[in-house]
Every structure is written in structure tokens, then in C-alpha cells.
Amino acid sequence: MYAQMVKTDGTRVKSLDDMEPEERAFQQRIEAGQKIEPKEWMPEAYRKTLVRQISQHAHSEIVGQLPEGNWITRAPTLERKAILLAKVQDEAGHGLYLYCAAETLGISRDEMYEQLHSGKAKYSSIFNYPTLSWADIGAIGWLVDGAAIMNQVPLQRCSYGPYARAMVRICKEESFHQRQGFDILAKMVKGTPAQKAMVQDALDRWWWPSLMMFGPSDDASVHSAQSMAWKIKQNSNDELRQKFVDQTVPQADYLGLTVPDPELKWNETKGGYDFGEPDWKEFFEVIAGNGLCNAERLGARRKAWDDGAWFREGLLAHAAKAEARRTTAPAAAE
Amino acid sequence: MSVTPTPSGDGTVLFEFLQRMGDNALILGHRLSEWCGHAPALEEDIALANTALDLIGQTQLWLGLAGEVEGKGRTADNLAYLRDATEFRNVLLVERPNGDFGKTLMRQFLFDAWHLVILQALRSAADKRIADIAEKAAKEVAYHLDRSRDLIVRLGDGTAESHRRMQEALDELWPYTGELFIGDTGDAELAAAGIIPAPESLKGAWDDVVGETLAEATLKKPADGYMHKGGKRGVHTEHMGFILAEMQFLQRAYPCATW
Ligand SMILES: [Fe+2]
Ligand SMILES: [Fe+2]
């Protein structure tokens, strides 16, 4: 998930009877499957939760440029380079739509950046892992974009209109990314033994972090229950993780790879795989900022922002000058 | 397949020219892609990736045709990934390091202004394969130039600091622009056959665009002093070896692999 463990500000989910008329009408509209639009009344906690979730999602898209950008200059063919450039450009575009969706809730993009740079806002844990070989670029497309799709497809039905609509556009592109990632690996496993080993190594390193993307079990979480009541979350983390494993394991088999989980086993009764627990201790460390690449990723984003200050100020100053020239000499500007 | 005969009878001078076009696009595309995720605004990240993507696409076309003209079975990838620095034919300007965002933009503008002029001329090349590539590339590059030109003006005429940085970038890069307009005997042969415009003939149109833009940007056009050259015949700066070490790593480390 690009948005992990989003808090909702509540201690319990209110029943309709507990609500004031305004909120009750709002909740009933959500239950009737109607979309909430920016100018409409919404509970403050709903607004805040969405800002957290959408901005976290947006930050993940832009921080996510870094691990993949790491291989653009080393892509092995011109075609692979072009595909990767296009993918990373898509991810930046996703960031842009999502920031715009969040802005409809009354927060500016600069404020969201400020929250990212100060560490107040999070981004997905997955982007704090390093990309060490070309196979990692395939693995990210296959697993990371794959896990993102699992989460984002239901979000197309999210109750908040601008977020749901952004998701429709984003999901189409994410499916391309997943196929392209799989294609990188499919080509490599048919290649030399060294290439095949590279792919297995990538799966070994990316499998567990990908499962962690869905977040820890949230069956008992009040935040999750509230998000579900608001329809900004449709499935539990465990449900999505199960779906992801069930979809991905046959693909790993097809590639001739071994999923690095000794407990992985088909369970005929449930019609899905049984699998082991990710290392949640590692997950919480990474979320807390202690992962291998946290400092580098956040440092790179802060540096880009700080180094670019003169550029943004220059553009603003020019716009102000142009405006002043227009108002002082209207005849000349016509 | 119809191969337009070149004046020298073999494809050597044409091969040389096509590598120059392809290598300029490849190396500049490489430099731009180094920015990925580090640009000063999200819109710039997107725009740089887009420009890099266009340039890599153009590389595939130019180097693909170069391999065909050479006739030794080399593909665009073979040329991009398996030639050493002395075999690369890009101008020195495109291998300049990115520097701050101002230098990247200035390098882009100075190159785009030339790139558009040459591509527009190549649209009427006597060799249809060249004219077709130029037709497609000119559309993309017209957009690159619109963008880089606009940013040069806004930053030149922005704050005192943005002005200073843009002037510094211009002064540093200016000595690398002369090479774009210096022809050799191969260029002369191809120009005489109506396949390419003579490099010298592009200077007037380039001067116009650059002059107007710099004036609007309130930047001072440097004097045409000593100009660096060498890239077009394979004599590069020290940067080139590192660009290739990075770019060609996988193809060199795993020679039998396909990707
Ligand atoms: Fe994305
Ligand atoms: Fe994606």
C-alpha cells in the first residue's frame, strides 16, 4: 500500500444514532454509494484522514522515483531505458494528480512538502529499500506496482470524488507498469545463469517488503473500521495481502522462481495460500525512519527542494514583474 | 530497401553524420535522466523525463539508421552500448555535467536552438529516411525549445540570484557552442549532395533565436572567443568515460546476455 496505517482521529466508529443530523445525512450518502465532492460538507475527521491518506500516497509516488531513477542511466538497452523513463515519469504524474486531489481538501502542495520534509508525513516503507541490480527494476514493477494495484483498484470506488477519479487514471498506468516489470524478469529468467540468479536474488529481497506494503493486520483497528465506514478503505490489510499472495505465487512459479517463504503452502480448504508472517519489527523500524535508505531518500527530496528554491523564486519574481508591466502599461501589452 | 548513394560511394560520411545526430541525443538524454527525482519542482521532473524520453527515442532512430548505413549488422543498441568514447561523435556541449538546474536549462536551450534549426533543414534532406526522422524529431524539439526558451527568459529576468546563475551558466557554456557550426570535409560532401545542411549555414538562424531570447532574458551574450571542439571527431572531455562506464555497465559486464 502506498498509504500505510493512516490514522483517523477517532476512538470509535459512531453509529448513525450518535450523529448530528448533518453528519448523519453525510454518512447516509456514503452508504448509498454517492460521491462526496470538495465543496460539500464533510466531518473534519473525514477531511483530515483523507489529507493524510492522499498526501501519503502522493509522497510515495514522488519518493518512488528515486529507487527506480537509480537505474535509468544504467538501463541495459535503449528500449528498456525509454520504458523506465516513461514509467518514472508516470509516477511523478501520479504524484501530481494526487497532490491536486489533496489540495481540494484545503491544503497546499507546499504545506504537504513541508510535512514530508519535516518527517511529519510518511511515505510507503517499500521505497526505503535499495535497488541493487537491474532485476530490482523488474521486481519493483511486478511486486510493488502489483501490490499498489491491489490497494488502488478498490480505491476507484472511494467515497471522495477527486481521489476516486485520480485512482481510475492511475490504475490504468499501474497495470502497464506491472506488466513491464514482469516482462523484464521474464526475459532475464530465459537468459544466462547469472541473469536468472539476479532475478531470484531480487525476489528474495523484495518479497517480504512487498507483503509489508499492506501494513500489519488491522482487523482490530478502530482507524481501519472508521475508514471503512467512510468508504475510503474497502478491504482489510490481511484480505489484500492474501489476494496479492494468491495472485503472485503462480507468477513466480511461471518464472521458475522460489518464493523465499518456507511456510508458503497451497491450502485447498480456503482456496488460497498459507504463508508466513513478515518481520513486523523491521517494518516498524523502517516506518520510524531507520531503514537502509530512509535518510538518503528523504535527504534527496529535501536537497531537491532546497537547491531548487532560487529556481522557484525566480519564476515567481518574473511572474510578478510581468504582471506589474501589464498593469502599468496596459496599452503596450495589448 | 533503397540506399541513397553518398558522394564518397560507401556510407562512411553518412554513417559519421548519423552517429553525430544519434550520439547528441543519447548523451543529452543521459544527462537529463540523471535529474530524475531531484528537480526543483514536480513539473520539472516530469518535463525533463519527457524530454529525455524524446531524445532516447530519437537516438533509436538515428543510430538504427546509422547501423543500417554502415552495413555491418550493428543495431542502435550495439552502437550505444559497445562503442568506446573515441567512437562517440556527440558535441562536447551535451556531455557537460548538469551543474545546478540553471546550467542544465542553459545547456538545453543552447542545444535545442541548434537542434531545431538542423532538424527543420533535414526535413527536406535528399535521403527520405533522414527526412522522415527529422520530421518526427522536429515536432518534439520545437516543444523542447519552447520550454527551455521560456524558462531562460523567466529566470534571466527573475530575481537577482536567478539572473546571476543564468548568466554564469551562459558564460560557462558559451565556448562549447562553436563546435555546432564547424563543418568538416564529410559535412561538405553531404551538404553538396543535398543530404544535410552545411553546419556553418545554421549559425544565422541560431544566432537569431539565441540573441532574441537572451535579450528578453536580460542576459548578456558573451563574445565569441575561443571555442572548444573535438566531440564530432571523437575527442571528448574527461566526463565522457564516466558517462559510458555508467551507461554501458550491464552490456559490458554481461556480454552474452539479452535484456
Ligand atoms: Fe504510481
Ligand atoms: Fe507505477
Interface of B with A in 81-110 (CB under 8 A): 81, 100-102
Contacts of A93 in chain B (CB under 8 A): 46
Task: Establish if B219 belongs to a structural domain.
Answer: yes
Query: CB contact, 8 Å: A325 with chain B?
Result: no
* pLDDT tens profile B86-141: 999 999 999 999 999 999 999 999 999 999 999 999 999 999 999 999 999 999 99
Q: In angstroms, what is the span from residue A186 Cα to ligand 1's centroid? A: 22
pLDDT, residue A221, reads 85
Question: Are B49 and A85 in contact (CB < 8 Å)?
Answer: yes
Instruction: Judge whether residue A334 has pLDDT over 80.
Output: no
pLDDT, residue A219, reads 84
Rounded distance, CA A298 to CA A279, Å?
A: 23
Best probe of the A interface among B32, B45, B100, B251, by most A CBs < 10 A, is B45
pLDDT, residue A1, reads 61
Largest CA distance in chain B: 57
Ligand number nearest to the C-alpha of A62: 1
Contacts of B162 in chain A (CB under 8 A): 310-311, 313-314, 317
Higher-pLDDT residue of B11 and A26 is A26
Task: Establish if B175 belongs to a structural domain.
Answer: yes
The Cα-based distances of B75 to A78, A202, B61, B99 in angstroms read 11, 29, 10, 32
Instruction: Judge whether residue A104 has pLDDT over 60.
Output: yes
The CATH number that applies at residue B240 is 1.20.1260.10
pLDDT, residue B7, reads 52
Best probe of the A interface among B28, B56, B249, by most A CBs < 10 A, is B56
Number of residue pairs across A and B with CB atoms under 8 Å? 150
Task: Establish if B208 belongs to a structural domain.
Answer: yes
Instruction: Give me the residue from B45, B249, B259 closest to A77, CB to CB.
Output: B259
* pLDDT tens profile B34-47: 999 999 999 999 99
Instruction: Judge whether residue B10 has pLDDT over 80.
Output: no
Instruction: Give me the residue from A66, A76, A312 closest to B259, CB to CB.
Output: A76
* pLDDT tens profile A158-208: 999 999 999 999 999 999 999 999 999 999 999 999 999 999 999 999 999
Instruction: Judge whether residue B158 has pLDDT over 80.
Output: yes
Query: pTM of the predicted model, to two decimals?
Result: 0.95
Rounded distance, CA A232 to CA A30, Å?
A: 10
Residues B63-76 as b or e (16 or more Cβ within 10 Å = b): bbbbbbbbeeebbb
CB of A213 within 8 A of CB of A1? yes
Task: Establish if B2 belongs to a structural domain.
Answer: no
Rounded distance, CA A134 to CA A198, Å?
A: 8
Q: B106, B101, B108: which is closest to B35 by C-alpha?
A: B101
Task: Indicate the pLDDT class of residue B3, thresholds 50, 70 and 90.
Answer: very low
- Percentage above 70 pLDDT, chain A: 98
Contacts of A308 in chain B (CB under 8 A): 39-41, 44, 101
| CA distance, residue B164 to nearest chain A CA (Å) | 11
Task: Establish if B259 belongs to a structural domain.
Answer: no
* pLDDT tens profile B229-253: 999 999 999 999 999 999 999 999 9
Pull the grid cell for residue A13. 466508529
Task: Establish if B4 belongs to a structural domain.
Answer: no
Task: Indicate the pLDDT class of residue B9, thresholds 50, 70 and 90.
Answer: low
Instruction: Give me the residue from A77, A89, A303 closest to B46, CB to CB.
Output: A89
Query: Look-up: residue for cell 533535414?
Result: B122
Query: CB contact, 8 Å: B257 with chain A?
Result: yes
Rounded distance, CA A326 to CA A330, Å?
A: 5
Question: Are A310 and B154 in contact (CB < 8 Å)?
Answer: no
pLDDT, residue B5, reads 46
Query: CB contact, 8 Å: A309 with chain B?
Result: yes
Query: CB contact, 8 Å: A132 with chain B?
Result: no
- ipTM, two decimals, is 0.95
Question: Are A76 and B158 in contact (CB < 8 Å)?
Answer: no
* pLDDT tens profile B20-31: 999 999 999 999
Rounded distance, CA A177 to CA A87, Å?
A: 7
- From A218-222, B152-156, B160-164, the region with the lowest mean pLDDT: A218-222
User: Containing domain of residue B137, as a range?
Assistant: 12-253
CB of B190 within 8 A of CB of B6? yes
Task: Establish if B3 belongs to a structural domain.
Answer: no
Task: Indicate the pLDDT class of residue A330, thresholds 50, 70 and 90.
Answer: low
pLDDT, residue A2, reads 80
| Average pLDDT score, chain A | 95
* pLDDT tens profile B188-240: 999 999 999 999 999 999 999 999 999 999 999 999 999 999 999 999 999 99
What is the DSSP code string of A213-229?
A: TT-S--TT-HHHHHHHH
Query: Look-up: residue for cell 561523435?
Result: B89
What is the DSSP code string of A43-63?
A: -HHHHHHHHHHHHHHHHHHHH
* pLDDT tens profile A42-99: 999 999 999 999 999 999 999 999 999 999 999 999 999 999 999 999 999 999 999 9
Domain count of chain B? 1
Q: A27, A45, A24, A44: which is closest to A36 by C-alpha?
A: A27
Best probe of the A interface among B81, B250, B252, by most A CBs < 10 A, is B250
Task: Indicate the pLDDT class of residue B8, thresholds 50, 70 and 90.
Answer: low
Task: Establish if B149 belongs to a structural domain.
Answer: yes
